Amino acid sequence: MRVVVFALGLLVCVAAHADEAKKSYAEVYAEDHGTCTADTCAPGTKVVVTLDKGDTAFACDTEEKSVYTNTVLGMVSFMQQMTGKLPNISPATGEPEVEGDSKALLDSLREKAGVGTFDEAVKYCKNEKQINKKKFMILNIKHESEYAWAGIDKMKIWLPLTAIKPVK
């Protein structure tokens, strides 16, 4: 009997974690922090950029540049947290010096962004100081993306979903 109860318990745990695994990072983050998802911030939704002190994010003219620049930032931040020091930065690309799958990922994202370096991509972006606490309206949001296209006046940018909350 104990084995059956244990097995049923394992099945429930596995099923619960399977549901979590189907969710994107933005969906899981949104549940904890009240930020946007494709379902909660449809086009026309008014949103505000909400970055905590010390948070860094880029909002760029294209989704590809936004994904690339924020991935580089995330990678640098993760490597610093894991090792306690900043990684070596490539003088050729401005990215962390990595190998294997990580290098292939950065090469692919840089190519999709249509830029040669991180610094070149950043020229097309707004940083956290330029966007934090600003209100925007969602113009487009793809269900498979973790970014939204938003606008205010003449500024139209792609923002990470984790940086925006619906305005109540």
Q: For 112-141, what is each residue's pLDDT tens digit?
A: 999 999 999 999 999 999 999 999 999 999
- pLDDT digits over 85-109, tens only? 999 999 999 999 999 999 999 999 9
Write 129-134 long-range contacts (CB < 8 A, 24+). 130/59, 131/49, 131/51, 131/57, 131/59, 131/157, 131/159, 131/163, 132/49, 132/50, 132/51, 133/48, 133/49, 133/50, 134/48, 134/49
Quote the strand ranges of 61-146, DSSP E: 125-127, 135-141
- What residues form DSSP beta bridges with 147? 160
Report the pLDDT value the prediction gives residue 139, as an integer from 0 to 100.
97
Q: Are 106 and 72 in contact (CB under 8 A)?
A: yes
pLDDT single digits (tens) 10-68 = 333 444 444 455 677 777 878 888 888 888 999 999 999 998 888 889 999 999 999 99
* Count of positions (residues) in the chain: 168
